[in-house]
Amino acid sequence: MSKYKIFAQRIGLISATNLLLNLNGIFLLPILTKNMPIQDYGTYAEIMVTIGLVPSIAMLGLSFTMVRFLPSLKKKEEIQEVFYSIFFMVLFTEGIASFLIYVFSGLIAFYLFDNNIVVVKILSILVFVQGLNDFLTDYLRAKQLIKKYSIISLINTIIQILLISFFVLRGYGILGATIGLLITSLVILLILSYIIILNLGIRLPRFTNLRTYLNFGIPTVPANLSNWIVNSSDRYVIGILLGTAYVGYYSPGYALGTTIGMFTAPFAFILPAALSEYYDNKKIEEVNKILSYSFKYFLMFSIPATFGLSLLSKSILSILSTPKIASEGFIITPLVAISTLLFGAYAIICQILILEKKTKITGIVWIIAAILNLGLNFVLIPYFGIAGAAITTLFAFMFSFAITAYYSLKASKFDLKISFFLKSIFASIIMSLVIVEVHPTDLFNILITICICATVYFVVLFLLKGFEKEEFEFLNGIIRTNKASAE
């Protein structure tokens, strides 16, 4: 079980890191919503959406290609060749994307950013720097340098909170928040560059296998773009149809719902590299066991979190933002929370298709989902307002999960733990009765209620025999993360 224990420890470390990363958004939410006009907060939300879109598309899927091909390489020269071949290509494509945003900054500002041209010009630089950061971070992911990743993520969170808070509280508004994001990204770029040069050295590549990498990566671009359309384009559509103020009402509830993603992130981060190594060495039984464990423990935390966030949405938003935002946006949280849970399940199951190099299937699935999502957004938002956007998001994720699960489970019959899923649902319903009875409205009572609910959930799950004896060492590895040798 030692190899599973190491895997569990890495999952535990990434889980702790993502919990801290989520504090970023939670801490900044009241600072941004209570110290800026709602239109400016809507612009900030669209900035965050943009830096999530452009770098991932501009990289042509090469970052993920590195994660797929690098883990099985042992010789330093081979690793250098793969890394630097892809790096210089990414440098070129990200530069083009950044240049285009700068050139068309006036047009982009008019349609999407409340006519704030200065912010869009800063955004063009931010997109370039963030793209490089994403690529360099994926090198740490490919080499499973988990401690380094966690430390850098923590530094990024602290600097971002401090700088954005400083500029906004000093009255610089959306311009200050954008500058804070840029400075943070530049600092992280310097740190990542230093670590990777120290770890890998510098070498000019021969680009010998670049065509292979592009052939693997480019088919994932439509999937990435479509995934972004499903996840984030609703902010753009709301901005176009209703105005940036409604983006401001929509985004806090959406952000609260996506905190379920902190349970997805560890598996999405670690599984591609970890499974690739086992799969390439023909250890299929190990692959299936890791997938089964991952799916179960994702469900164990994400299901009760979905119930809890859905019931506590209005109370939490009232504390973190304004009463107006809470009354407008609380209904968004449960719809988005369920969507995020489905996406987490998808992120684990689709690893089978990635290992089989059947990325075209995921690409087609997300293209169809994106077309449905975008079309329904333009139909439902005018009639149902911001709730219409959340409904279309849920529909798109249900579709993507169902089709992907069908094709993935045809290729691999790993245990989905259906009985555990039903037990977790039952335990979550019992837990929810506590929230309904207490109905907390202030921060202290919410925290106390969460602790009580977590206790009730795990007691009920234990009484239902939700855990098997052989799984305790795997779980123990997560709990003893601080003793992990994550590198």
Report residue 481's pLDDT band, with 50, 70 and 90 as the boundaries: very low
- Residues 12-59 pLDDT 10s: 656 666 666 666 677 888 888 888 888 888 888 889 888 887 887 888
- How many alpha carbons lie under 13 Å from residue 74 in its C-beta half-sphere? 1
Report residue 162's pLDDT band, with 50, 70 and 90 as the boundaries: very high
Q: Could you give the CA distance from residue 275 to residue 283 in angstroms, rounded to a whole number?
A: 9
Instruction: Identify the three-state secondary structure at position 129.
Output: helix
Bigger pLDDT: 270 or 117?
117
* Helix runs in 201-321, H state only: 210-217, 220-241, 244-257, 261-280, 284-320
Bigger pLDDT: 379 or 150?
379
> What pLDDT does residue 17 have?
63
pLDDT > 70 in the chain, percent? 84
Average pLDDT rounded to a whole number, residues 292-309: 88
> What pLDDT does residue 408 have?
83
Q: Which two tokens stand for residue 350?
A: 């689709």
- Residues 301-360 pLDDT 10s: 899 999 999 999 999 888 888 888 888 888 999 999 999 999 888 888 888 887 777 767
Bigger pLDDT: 253 or 362?
253
Q: Which two tokens stand for residue 472?
A: 């305790």
CA-nearest of 398, 403, 420, 422 to 471 is 420
Handedness of CA 289, 294, 300, 303 (dihedral sign): negative
> What pLDDT does residue 472 have?
56
Predicted structure pTM score: 0.73
Report residue 483's pLDDT band, with 50, 70 and 90 as the boundaries: very low
Q: Work out the mean pLDDT of the chain and round it to a whole number.
A: 82
- The answer to whether residues 274 and 290 touch, using CB atoms and an 8 Å cutoff, is yes
Say if residue 485's pLDDT is above 50: no
> What pLDDT does residue 273 have?
63
- Residues 82-98 pLDDT 10s: 788 888 888 898 999 99
Q: Which residues of 450-482 are buried (b: 16+ CB within 10 A; e: fewer)?
A: beebeebbbebbeeeebbeeebeebbebbeebe
Report residue 465's pLDDT band, with 50, 70 and 90 as the boundaries: confident
Instruction: Identify the three-state secondary structure at position 202.
Output: coil
* Helix runs in 321-385, H state only: 323-329, 332-349, 351-355, 359-384
Handedness of CA 384, 336, 19, 450 (dihedral sign): positive
Average pLDDT rounded to a whole number, residues 67-93: 79
- The answer to whether residues 113 and 43 touch, using CB atoms and an 8 Å cutoff, is yes
> What pLDDT does residue 163 have?
94
> What pLDDT does residue 478 have?
44
- The answer to whether residues 257 and 334 touch, using CB atoms and an 8 Å cutoff, is yes
- Residues 391-423 pLDDT 10s: 999 998 999 899 988 888 887 777 777 888 899
- The answer to whether residues 114 and 244 touch, using CB atoms and an 8 Å cutoff, is yes
* Pick from 114-118, 240-244, 356-360: least confident: 356-360
Q: Residue 279, Cα to own-chain centre: how many angstroms? A: 25
Average pLDDT rounded to a whole number, residues 468-475: 58
CA-nearest of 249, 183, 221 to 389 is 249
- The answer to whether residues 273 and 354 touch, using CB atoms and an 8 Å cutoff, is no
Q: Could you give the CA distance from residue 164 to residue 143 in angstroms, rounded to a whole number?
A: 32
- The answer to whether residues 82 and 70 touch, using CB atoms and an 8 Å cutoff, is yes
Report residue 77's pLDDT band, with 50, 70 and 90 as the boundaries: confident
Say if residue 487's pLDDT is above 50: no
Say if residue 369's pLDDT is above 90: no
- The answer to whether residues 208 and 81 touch, using CB atoms and an 8 Å cutoff, is yes
- How many alpha carbons lie under 13 Å from residue 149 in its C-beta half-sphere? 27
> What pLDDT does residue 305 have?
93
Bigger pLDDT: 128 or 352?
128
Instruction: Please give the backbone phi and psi of residue 71, each rounded to the nearest 5 degrees, phi first.
Output: -55, -35
Say if residue 186's pLDDT is above 90: yes
